[in-house]
Amino acid sequence: MSLELTISEAIKTAMRAKDRVALDSLRAVKSQILLLKTEALGAEVSSEQEIAILQRMIKQRKDSYEQFTAQGRNDLAEVEEAQMKVIEKFLPAQLSSEELEAEIKQIISETGAESIKDLGKVMGLASKNLAGKSDGKSISEMAKKLLS
């Protein structure tokens, strides 16, 4: 079942449960999917594009959470954190740091990377292979650590 249908069903469930945070989060996700479909002139949205939408939305909420926390606005930070948790349920299982390290080591050996100068080669392949399984920041930090 596509993400759009899954989100639609989750919206119905959130409406029945009167879960305002989940409803707002899910409507935002559905809105982004519909926007992407409109831009693609009605073409189907691929699973990679769906994952990218979810990751972008989580990153936006994480940034907002950090800003609200820094400003002492815990009431708004809590809303952002709750929305992050709702959206994360629709992403594939995230890699642990050990699994991420193993994956990046394998990518480094595949590309023949030897130093930090080869970071671009590693990041290109890692971003494509690990899409949805880990965020770009974690991938980048691990690749830098292993290459230095």
What domains, with CATH codes, occur in the chain?
A: 1-87 (1.10.1510.10), 95-145 (1.10.10.410)
Residue 27 has pLDDT above 80, yes or no: yes
Please enumerate, as own/partner, the contacts of 22-28 that have beta carbons within 8 Å and a separation of 24 or more.
Answer: 22/86, 24/83, 25/82, 25/83, 25/86, 25/87, 26/86, 28/57, 28/83
Whole-angstrom Cα distance, residue 93 to residue 96?
Answer: 9
* Mean pLDDT for the stretch of residues 9-27: 94
pTM of the model: 0.75
The pLDDT value given to residue 1: 59
Q: What is the pLDDT of residues 61-111, one digit of tens each?
A: 999 999 999 999 999 999 999 999 999 998 888 888 888 888 888 888 888
Cα 127 off chain centre by: 12
